[in-house]
Amino acid sequence: MPTPVKSVLPVVLLGCGGVGRYLLRHIVSCRPLHANQGVAIRVLGVADSSSLLVADDVHSSGLDDALLTHLCAAKAAGSPLSSLLGQVSGNYQLFRNPEARSKVIDAATTLGRTTGLVLVDCSATYDTASLMKDAVDHGCCIVLANKKPLTGPYEDFQKLVSHFRQIRFESTVGAGLPVIASVTRIIASGDPVSRIVGSLSGTLGYVMSELEDGKRFSEVVKTAKSLGFTEPDPRDDLGGMDVARKALILARLLGQQISMDNINVESLYPSELGPDAVSTEDFLESGLVQLDRSMEERVKAASSRGNVLRYVCEVGSKGCQVGLKELPKDSALGRLRGSDNVVEIYSRCYESSPLVIQGAGAGNDTTAAGVLADIMDLQDLFQRTA
Protein backbone atom coordinates (compact mmCIF):
# COMPACT_ATOMS: atom_id res chain seq x y z
CA MET A 1 0.00 0.00 0.00
CA PRO A 2 1.54 3.36 -1.02
CA THR A 3 2.55 5.73 1.76
CA PRO A 4 0.19 8.73 1.81
CA VAL A 5 1.79 12.04 0.90
CA LYS A 6 2.12 14.09 4.06
CA SER A 7 4.25 16.96 2.76
CA VAL A 8 4.54 18.57 -0.69
CA LEU A 9 7.49 20.94 -1.08
CA PRO A 10 7.20 23.29 -4.08
CA VAL A 11 10.70 24.32 -5.21
CA VAL A 12 12.10 26.99 -7.51
CA LEU A 13 15.81 26.57 -8.26
CA LEU A 14 18.06 29.53 -9.02
CA GLY A 15 21.29 28.48 -10.69
CA CYS A 16 21.71 25.45 -12.91
CA GLY A 17 25.48 25.04 -12.88
CA GLY A 18 27.24 22.00 -11.44
CA VAL A 19 25.54 22.02 -8.01
CA GLY A 20 22.11 22.87 -9.42
CA ARG A 21 22.25 20.07 -11.99
CA TYR A 22 23.31 17.52 -9.38
CA LEU A 23 20.50 18.71 -7.13
CA LEU A 24 17.90 18.10 -9.84
CA ARG A 25 19.36 14.64 -10.52
CA HIS A 26 19.24 13.84 -6.78
CA ILE A 27 15.61 14.98 -6.55
CA VAL A 28 14.64 12.74 -9.47
CA SER A 29 16.62 9.70 -8.29
CA CYS A 30 15.31 10.00 -4.71
CA ARG A 31 11.62 9.96 -5.69
CA PRO A 32 11.07 6.37 -4.37
CA LEU A 33 12.89 7.12 -1.11
CA HIS A 34 10.95 10.33 -0.48
CA ALA A 35 7.66 8.69 -1.46
CA ASN A 36 8.22 6.05 1.25
CA GLN A 37 8.67 8.93 3.69
CA GLY A 38 5.45 10.58 2.56
CA VAL A 39 7.25 13.53 0.97
CA ALA A 40 7.01 14.90 -2.58
CA ILE A 41 9.32 17.60 -3.96
CA ARG A 42 7.62 19.47 -6.79
CA VAL A 43 10.06 21.46 -8.96
CA LEU A 44 8.00 24.40 -10.20
CA GLY A 45 10.78 26.32 -11.95
CA VAL A 46 14.47 26.43 -12.80
CA ALA A 47 16.40 29.60 -13.60
CA ASP A 48 19.83 30.21 -15.09
CA SER A 49 21.54 33.56 -15.57
CA SER A 50 19.35 34.55 -18.51
CA SER A 51 15.93 32.92 -18.20
CA LEU A 52 13.38 31.00 -16.14
CA LEU A 53 11.65 27.75 -17.09
CA VAL A 54 8.43 27.42 -15.07
CA ALA A 55 5.46 25.05 -14.96
CA ASP A 56 2.24 26.29 -16.56
CA ASP A 57 0.27 25.83 -13.36
CA VAL A 58 2.47 26.32 -10.29
CA HIS A 59 -0.48 25.60 -7.99
CA SER A 60 -1.06 22.00 -9.05
CA SER A 61 1.88 20.67 -11.05
CA GLY A 62 5.61 20.92 -11.52
CA LEU A 63 8.13 20.26 -14.27
CA ASP A 64 8.14 16.54 -15.03
CA ASP A 65 11.20 14.39 -14.42
CA ALA A 66 11.83 13.76 -18.12
CA LEU A 67 12.05 17.50 -18.71
CA LEU A 68 14.35 17.97 -15.70
CA THR A 69 16.64 15.22 -17.00
CA HIS A 70 16.74 16.80 -20.46
CA LEU A 71 17.36 20.20 -18.89
CA CYS A 72 20.37 18.88 -16.95
CA ALA A 73 21.85 17.36 -20.10
CA ALA A 74 21.40 20.60 -22.04
CA LYS A 75 23.02 22.70 -19.30
CA ALA A 76 25.89 20.23 -18.94
CA ALA A 77 26.52 20.67 -22.67
CA GLY A 78 26.75 24.43 -22.19
CA SER A 79 23.34 25.33 -23.63
CA PRO A 80 21.10 27.97 -22.03
CA LEU A 81 17.62 27.09 -20.76
CA SER A 82 16.16 29.04 -23.65
CA SER A 83 17.51 26.37 -26.03
CA LEU A 84 14.83 23.98 -24.73
CA LEU A 85 12.01 26.13 -26.06
CA GLY A 86 10.29 24.28 -28.89
CA GLN A 87 12.64 21.30 -28.60
CA VAL A 88 11.11 19.62 -25.57
CA SER A 89 7.38 19.11 -25.11
CA GLY A 90 5.76 19.74 -21.77
CA ASN A 91 3.53 22.07 -19.79
CA TYR A 92 5.98 24.86 -19.19
CA GLN A 93 6.69 28.47 -20.07
CA LEU A 94 9.99 30.25 -20.55
CA PHE A 95 10.67 33.84 -19.51
CA ARG A 96 13.84 35.80 -20.21
CA ASN A 97 15.38 38.40 -17.91
CA PRO A 98 14.28 40.83 -16.57
CA GLU A 99 10.80 39.33 -16.84
CA ALA A 100 12.11 36.08 -15.33
CA ARG A 101 12.93 37.82 -12.05
CA SER A 102 9.44 39.31 -11.78
CA LYS A 103 7.94 35.86 -12.38
CA VAL A 104 9.95 34.43 -9.48
CA ILE A 105 8.70 37.27 -7.27
CA ASP A 106 5.13 36.58 -8.47
CA ALA A 107 5.47 32.92 -7.52
CA ALA A 108 6.91 33.85 -4.11
CA THR A 109 4.06 36.30 -3.49
CA THR A 110 1.36 33.88 -4.61
CA LEU A 111 2.64 30.68 -3.03
CA GLY A 112 4.52 32.00 0.00
CA ARG A 113 1.37 32.50 2.06
CA THR A 114 -0.72 29.68 0.57
CA THR A 115 0.92 26.35 -0.34
CA GLY A 116 4.38 27.63 0.58
CA LEU A 117 7.51 27.74 -1.57
CA VAL A 118 11.17 26.79 -1.17
CA LEU A 119 13.48 29.10 -3.10
CA VAL A 120 16.83 27.34 -3.59
CA ASP A 121 19.89 29.42 -4.49
CA CYS A 122 22.64 27.40 -6.16
CA SER A 123 23.94 30.39 -8.13
CA ALA A 124 27.21 32.22 -7.46
CA THR A 125 26.07 35.84 -7.54
CA TYR A 126 25.25 38.63 -5.09
CA ASP A 127 22.27 39.52 -7.28
CA THR A 128 19.98 37.03 -5.56
CA ALA A 129 20.24 38.70 -2.12
CA SER A 130 17.36 41.13 -2.64
CA LEU A 131 15.21 38.35 -4.08
CA MET A 132 15.89 36.19 -1.02
CA LYS A 133 14.90 39.02 1.33
CA ASP A 134 11.66 39.56 -0.58
CA ALA A 135 10.95 35.83 -0.51
CA VAL A 136 11.19 35.46 3.27
CA ASP A 137 8.96 38.51 3.71
CA HIS A 138 6.33 36.71 1.63
CA GLY A 139 6.56 33.64 3.86
CA CYS A 140 8.76 31.53 1.60
CA CYS A 141 11.51 29.24 2.81
CA ILE A 142 14.99 29.61 1.35
CA VAL A 143 17.88 27.16 1.02
CA LEU A 144 21.31 28.48 0.14
CA ALA A 145 24.41 26.90 -1.36
CA ASN A 146 25.39 30.37 -2.58
CA LYS A 147 27.45 32.13 0.11
CA LYS A 148 27.13 35.62 -1.29
CA PRO A 149 23.68 36.62 0.05
CA LEU A 150 25.07 35.91 3.55
CA THR A 151 28.41 37.68 3.05
CA GLY A 152 27.25 41.05 1.77
CA PRO A 153 26.10 43.81 4.14
CA TYR A 154 25.55 42.58 7.70
CA GLU A 155 21.96 43.84 7.56
CA ASP A 156 21.23 41.34 4.75
CA PHE A 157 22.63 38.45 6.83
CA GLN A 158 20.62 39.54 9.87
CA LYS A 159 17.45 39.89 7.81
CA LEU A 160 17.76 36.39 6.35
CA VAL A 161 18.85 34.40 9.41
CA SER A 162 16.29 36.12 11.66
CA HIS A 163 13.74 33.97 9.81
CA PHE A 164 15.42 30.94 11.35
CA ARG A 165 12.48 28.58 10.76
CA GLN A 166 12.45 29.42 7.05
CA ILE A 167 16.16 29.37 6.13
CA ARG A 168 18.75 26.60 5.75
CA PHE A 169 22.32 27.27 4.62
CA GLU A 170 24.39 24.26 5.66
CA SER A 171 26.00 23.89 2.23
CA THR A 172 27.48 27.40 2.28
CA VAL A 173 30.28 26.31 4.62
CA GLY A 174 31.07 22.61 4.47
CA ALA A 175 29.12 21.24 1.49
CA GLY A 176 27.34 18.27 3.09
CA LEU A 177 29.12 18.41 6.46
CA PRO A 178 26.92 19.39 9.47
CA VAL A 179 28.97 22.43 10.48
CA ILE A 180 26.19 25.03 10.69
CA ALA A 181 23.86 22.58 12.46
CA SER A 182 26.54 21.69 15.01
CA VAL A 183 27.37 25.31 15.79
CA THR A 184 23.72 26.34 16.14
CA ARG A 185 22.92 23.33 18.37
CA ILE A 186 25.82 24.12 20.70
CA ILE A 187 24.79 27.78 20.91
CA ALA A 188 21.14 26.83 21.52
CA SER A 189 22.20 24.63 24.44
CA GLY A 190 23.63 27.68 26.23
CA ASP A 191 27.22 26.53 25.64
CA PRO A 192 29.03 29.57 24.18
CA VAL A 193 31.31 28.80 21.23
CA SER A 194 34.68 30.44 21.87
CA ARG A 195 36.60 29.48 18.75
CA ILE A 196 36.26 27.70 15.42
CA VAL A 197 39.29 26.55 13.43
CA GLY A 198 38.83 24.89 10.09
CA SER A 199 40.35 23.80 6.82
CA LEU A 200 37.41 24.70 4.60
CA SER A 201 38.91 24.48 1.12
CA GLY A 202 39.23 21.05 -0.44
CA THR A 203 41.60 22.59 -2.99
CA LEU A 204 43.95 24.15 -0.44
CA GLY A 205 43.70 21.13 1.85
CA TYR A 206 44.94 18.96 -1.00
CA VAL A 207 47.71 21.40 -1.95
CA MET A 208 49.09 21.78 1.58
CA SER A 209 49.04 18.05 2.38
CA GLU A 210 50.84 17.23 -0.88
CA LEU A 211 53.62 19.71 -0.09
CA GLU A 212 54.59 17.56 2.92
CA ASP A 213 55.87 14.92 0.49
CA GLY A 214 58.48 17.34 -0.86
CA LYS A 215 56.60 18.20 -4.04
CA ARG A 216 56.92 21.66 -5.56
CA PHE A 217 54.08 24.12 -5.04
CA SER A 218 53.75 24.76 -8.79
CA GLU A 219 53.60 21.04 -9.51
CA VAL A 220 50.93 20.40 -6.88
CA VAL A 221 48.70 23.29 -8.02
CA LYS A 222 48.85 22.11 -11.64
CA THR A 223 47.98 18.56 -10.56
CA ALA A 224 45.06 19.88 -8.50
CA LYS A 225 43.82 21.75 -11.55
CA SER A 226 44.09 18.66 -13.76
CA LEU A 227 42.07 16.69 -11.17
CA GLY A 228 39.32 19.32 -11.25
CA PHE A 229 39.95 20.47 -7.67
CA THR A 230 40.54 24.12 -8.62
CA GLU A 231 38.60 26.78 -10.45
CA PRO A 232 39.65 27.36 -14.11
CA ASP A 233 41.91 30.10 -12.73
CA PRO A 234 43.54 28.54 -9.62
CA ARG A 235 44.04 32.01 -8.15
CA ASP A 236 40.33 31.97 -7.32
CA ASP A 237 41.27 29.30 -4.75
CA LEU A 238 44.79 30.42 -3.87
CA GLY A 239 43.59 33.93 -3.00
CA GLY A 240 41.62 32.56 -0.04
CA MET A 241 38.45 34.60 -0.64
CA ASP A 242 36.17 31.55 -0.76
CA VAL A 243 37.49 30.44 2.64
CA ALA A 244 37.07 34.00 3.92
CA ARG A 245 33.38 34.00 2.94
CA LYS A 246 32.85 30.75 4.85
CA ALA A 247 34.70 32.21 7.84
CA LEU A 248 32.52 35.32 7.70
CA ILE A 249 29.34 33.24 7.82
CA LEU A 250 30.65 31.38 10.89
CA ALA A 251 31.78 34.60 12.58
CA ARG A 252 28.39 36.21 12.01
CA LEU A 253 26.71 33.08 13.32
CA LEU A 254 28.67 33.61 16.55
CA GLY A 255 27.31 37.15 16.77
CA GLN A 256 30.19 39.13 15.28
CA GLN A 257 28.86 42.07 13.28
CA ILE A 258 31.75 42.16 10.83
CA SER A 259 32.24 42.34 7.07
CA MET A 260 34.80 40.95 4.61
CA ASP A 261 36.90 44.08 5.18
CA ASN A 262 37.43 43.01 8.81
CA ILE A 263 38.97 39.64 7.90
CA ASN A 264 42.72 39.26 7.51
CA VAL A 265 43.15 37.10 4.41
CA GLU A 266 46.55 35.73 3.34
CA SER A 267 46.78 35.15 -0.39
CA LEU A 268 49.19 32.47 -1.60
CA TYR A 269 50.30 34.66 -4.50
CA PRO A 270 51.47 38.32 -4.54
CA SER A 271 49.51 41.12 -6.20
CA GLU A 272 52.03 41.33 -9.05
CA LEU A 273 50.90 37.83 -10.08
CA GLY A 274 47.22 38.69 -9.71
CA PRO A 275 44.53 38.49 -12.44
CA ASP A 276 44.88 42.20 -13.23
CA ALA A 277 48.58 41.79 -13.96
CA VAL A 278 49.05 38.29 -15.39
CA SER A 279 46.82 36.06 -17.53
CA THR A 280 45.79 32.62 -16.27
CA GLU A 281 48.00 30.93 -18.86
CA ASP A 282 51.06 32.98 -17.91
CA PHE A 283 50.40 32.43 -14.21
CA LEU A 284 50.36 28.67 -14.73
CA GLU A 285 53.37 28.60 -17.04
CA SER A 286 55.73 31.10 -15.44
CA GLY A 287 54.12 32.65 -12.37
CA LEU A 288 53.64 29.61 -10.15
CA VAL A 289 57.28 28.54 -10.26
CA GLN A 290 58.26 31.89 -8.74
CA LEU A 291 56.45 30.82 -5.57
CA ASP A 292 58.15 27.41 -5.18
CA ARG A 293 61.17 28.47 -3.12
CA SER A 294 59.34 30.57 -0.53
CA MET A 295 56.71 27.88 -0.03
CA GLU A 296 59.34 25.17 0.27
CA GLU A 297 61.13 27.20 2.94
CA ARG A 298 57.93 27.63 4.96
CA VAL A 299 57.10 23.93 4.75
CA LYS A 300 60.62 22.94 5.89
CA ALA A 301 60.60 25.47 8.73
CA ALA A 302 57.31 24.09 10.03
CA SER A 303 58.58 20.51 9.71
CA SER A 304 61.73 21.33 11.72
CA ARG A 305 59.43 22.26 14.62
CA GLY A 306 57.38 19.08 14.29
CA ASN A 307 54.54 20.92 12.59
CA VAL A 308 52.80 21.07 9.24
CA LEU A 309 51.32 23.98 7.30
CA ARG A 310 47.59 24.17 6.75
CA TYR A 311 45.46 26.88 5.14
CA VAL A 312 42.84 27.55 7.79
CA CYS A 313 40.28 30.02 8.99
CA GLU A 314 40.23 30.89 12.67
CA VAL A 315 37.18 32.57 14.17
CA GLY A 316 37.45 33.75 17.77
CA SER A 317 37.05 36.61 20.20
CA LYS A 318 39.94 38.47 18.56
CA GLY A 319 38.31 38.47 15.16
CA CYS A 320 38.75 36.35 12.09
CA GLN A 321 41.94 35.32 10.27
CA VAL A 322 42.39 33.27 7.10
CA GLY A 323 45.76 31.98 5.93
CA LEU A 324 48.64 29.57 6.51
CA LYS A 325 49.12 28.30 10.04
CA GLU A 326 51.60 25.89 11.63
CA LEU A 327 49.82 23.04 13.38
CA PRO A 328 50.99 19.90 15.20
CA LYS A 329 51.27 16.89 12.92
CA ASP A 330 49.15 14.79 15.27
CA SER A 331 46.26 17.28 15.48
CA ALA A 332 43.02 16.75 13.56
CA LEU A 333 44.00 19.46 11.10
CA GLY A 334 47.60 18.26 10.95
CA ARG A 335 46.52 14.74 10.00
CA LEU A 336 44.37 16.06 7.17
CA ARG A 337 45.14 14.51 3.80
CA GLY A 338 43.60 15.02 0.38
CA SER A 339 40.64 17.28 -0.24
CA ASP A 340 38.69 16.62 2.97
CA ASN A 341 37.49 19.47 5.16
CA VAL A 342 38.09 19.51 8.91
CA VAL A 343 36.45 21.84 11.45
CA GLU A 344 37.28 22.08 15.17
CA ILE A 345 34.65 23.75 17.39
CA TYR A 346 35.70 24.93 20.86
CA SER A 347 33.24 25.84 23.61
CA ARG A 348 32.92 25.48 27.39
CA CYS A 349 32.03 21.80 27.01
CA TYR A 350 34.47 21.24 24.15
CA GLU A 351 37.40 23.34 25.39
CA SER A 352 40.11 20.74 26.00
CA SER A 353 38.77 18.29 23.42
CA PRO A 354 37.06 20.15 20.56
CA LEU A 355 34.17 18.81 18.53
CA VAL A 356 35.79 17.69 15.26
CA ILE A 357 33.84 17.38 12.01
CA GLN A 358 35.66 15.83 9.06
CA GLY A 359 34.72 14.55 5.64
CA ALA A 360 34.30 15.46 2.00
CA GLY A 361 33.72 19.19 1.96
CA ALA A 362 33.79 19.95 -1.74
CA GLY A 363 32.39 18.74 -5.03
CA ASN A 364 29.11 19.33 -6.83
CA ASP A 365 27.66 15.96 -5.85
CA THR A 366 28.41 16.38 -2.13
CA THR A 367 27.21 19.97 -2.04
CA ALA A 368 23.98 19.11 -3.86
CA ALA A 369 23.32 16.29 -1.39
CA GLY A 370 23.68 18.83 1.42
CA VAL A 371 21.22 21.16 -0.31
CA LEU A 372 18.69 18.34 -0.73
CA ALA A 373 19.03 17.47 2.96
CA ASP A 374 18.31 21.11 3.81
CA ILE A 375 15.17 21.06 1.63
CA MET A 376 13.97 17.88 3.33
CA ASP A 377 14.64 19.44 6.73
CA LEU A 378 11.86 21.92 5.97
CA GLN A 379 9.20 19.26 5.34
CA ASP A 380 7.36 19.80 8.66
CA LEU A 381 6.46 23.32 7.50
CA PHE A 382 4.67 21.86 4.47
CA GLN A 383 2.58 19.15 6.10
CA ARG A 384 -0.87 18.71 4.64
CA THR A 385 -3.77 19.03 7.03
CA ALA A 386 -6.13 16.08 7.28
Which residues carry out catalysis? Answer: 246
Alpha-carbon distance of 93 to 56, in angstroms, equals: 6
Cβ pair 197, 327 in contact under 8 A: no
Cβ pair 182, 355 in contact under 8 A: yes
Largest CA distance in the chain: 69
- Enter the DSSP assignment of 56: S
Cβ pair 382, 7 in contact under 8 A: yes
Q: Can you state the percent helix, strand and coil of the chain, rounding each to 5? A: 45, 20, 35
Cβ pair 357, 174 in contact under 8 A: yes
Alpha-carbon distance of 7 to 167, in angstroms, equals: 18
CA 50 to chain CA mean position, Å: 21
DSSP letters for 10-22? EEEEE--SHHHHH
Cα atoms in the 13 Å half-sphere on the side-chain side of 39? 21
The number of residues making up the chain comes to 386
Alpha-carbon distance of 19 to 74, in angstroms, equals: 15
Secondary structure, 3-state, 75-115: HHCCCCHHHHCCCCCCCEEEEECCHHHHHHHHHHHHHHCCC
**319 residue type, one letter:** G
Residue 316 forms beta bridges with which residues?
A: 195, 319
The closest of 178, 174, 229, 172 to 204, measured between CA atoms, is 229
Q: Using omega within 30 degrees of 0 as the cis cutoff, is the peptide bond preceding 98 cis?
A: yes
Cβ pair 73, 19 in contact under 8 A: no
